[in-house]
């Protein structure tokens, strides 16, 4: 595509306006040179500009073939890594990516992945080092209409020095001891008088303690793996809790260390 189409006429051209012509402007060439209509030049200029803009848009946005789908997929993958495709009910399963960073300093083994399921429109929320749980909050998810969740992954050495690198929840203590010790990590205050229920479950040979607290409304699932304790916490305000309790309970019960 030549650059001359972006000028009006070259140095050897003279532009004249003819009387009686209302829409076009003719360019007269010197003797021996051909005439071109300025409207053709303008049309070519517009074509070049549109082509240029299209090329820039395609390059900047990453369009290729079915371009919109490619860009949309990239944005989704970048915002919520680890989520599966939705099932028939729209629920998706999050699995902590193996390559995700995280840990508690030199000498700590990689975090053993965990998984859980969330309803439609739940999204990952950035974790801040200013959070109450500090660097031990590994993940946050939320839905503005239903509630939020967060995962605490804490070194077991904070609570016992004889558990080794393959800690079991039973060795840390019974449900009462665990919730009294770790509940304040979740709600920021003593849990005395706030525990509505305690349950013990086993999945694939691993023990889980499940608690329901009120107030504040929160469901806590605890387990241990490697040299860490996992606290999976699902919480909501009063109205969200009343309207979405069934789904919030399903989220809490779906937590597994894999």
pLDDT tens figures, 14-68: 434 443 434 444 334 444 444 444 445 444 444 443 344 333 333 333 333 333 3
Which pLDDT score, from 0 to 100, does residue 214 have?
Answer: 95
Domains observed in the chain: 83-257 (3.40.1000.10)
**Angle at the Cα of 50 from the Cα atoms of 45 and 51, rounded to 5 degrees:** 95
The values of phi and psi at residue 213, to 5°, are -120, 150
CA 193 to chain centre: 36
Lowest mean pLDDT among 31-45, 122-136, 210-224: 31-45
Alpha-carbon radius of gyration of the chain: 32
pLDDT tens readout for residues 146-181? 999 999 998 888 777 788 788 999 999 999 999 999
Distance, in Å, from the CA atom of 201 to the CA atom of 199, rounded to the nearest integer, reads 7
- Backbone CA torsion sign across 247, 248, 250, 255: positive
Distance, in Å, from the CA atom of 19 to the CA atom of 145, rounded to the nearest integer, reads 69
Distance, in Å, from the CA atom of 200 to the CA atom of 169, rounded to the nearest integer, reads 11
Sheet of 256-257, strand order: 92-95, 114-118, 256-257
Distance, in Å, from the CA atom of 138 to the CA atom of 82, rounded to the nearest integer, reads 13
pLDDT tens readout for residues 93-126? 999 998 787 654 544 567 999 999 999 999 999 9
Overall average pLDDT of the 133-152 stretch:
90
Overall average pLDDT of the 4-14 stretch:
40
How far the first Cα of the chain sits from its last, in Å, is: 58
Distance, in Å, from the CA atom of 137 to the CA atom of 127, rounded to the nearest integer, reads 7
Which pLDDT score, from 0 to 100, does residue 103 have?
Answer: 52
Which pLDDT score, from 0 to 100, does residue 8 have?
Answer: 40
Helices (H) and strands (E) in the chain, counts: 5, 13
Contact 48, 1 (CB under 8 A): yes
pLDDT tens readout for residues 227-254? 999 999 999 999 999 999 999 999 999 9
Distance, in Å, from the CA atom of 83 to the CA atom of 239, rounded to the nearest integer, reads 27
- Backbone CA torsion sign across 47, 51, 57, 60: negative
The pTM (predicted TM-score) of the whole model is 0.67
């Amino acid at each position: 595509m030549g650059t001359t189409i972006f000028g009006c006429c070259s140095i050897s051209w003279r532009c004249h306006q003819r009387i009686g012509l209302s829409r076009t402007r003719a360019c007269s060439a010197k003797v021996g040179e051909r005439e071109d209509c300025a409207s053709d030049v303008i049309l070519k200029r517009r074509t070049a500009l549109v082509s240029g803009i299209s090329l820039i848009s395609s390059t900047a946005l990453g369009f290729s073939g079915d371009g919109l789908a490619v860009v949309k997929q990239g944005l989704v993958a970048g915002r919520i890594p680890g989520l599966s495709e939705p099932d028939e009910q729209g629920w998706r399963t999050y699995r902590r990516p193996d390559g995700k960073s995280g840990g508690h300093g030199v000498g700590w083994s990689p975090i053993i992945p965990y998984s859980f399921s969330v309803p439609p429109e739940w999204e990952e929320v950035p974790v801040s080092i200013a959070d109450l749980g500090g660097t031990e909050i590994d993940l946050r998810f939320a839905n503005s209409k239903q509630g939020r969740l967060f995962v605490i992954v804490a070194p077991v050495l904070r609570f016992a020095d004889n558990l080794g690198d393959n800690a079991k929840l039973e060795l840390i203590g019974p449900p009462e001891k665990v919730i009294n010790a770790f509940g304040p990590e979740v709600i920021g205050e003593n849990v005395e008088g706030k525990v509505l229920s305690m349950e013990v479950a086993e999945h694939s040979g691993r023990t889980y303690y499940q608690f329901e607290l009120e107030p504040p409304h929160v469901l806590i699932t605890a387990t241990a793996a490697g040299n860490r304790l996992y606290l999976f916490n699902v919480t909501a305000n009063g109205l969200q809790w009343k309207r979405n309790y069934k789904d919030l309970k399903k989220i809490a019960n779906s937590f597994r260390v894999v």
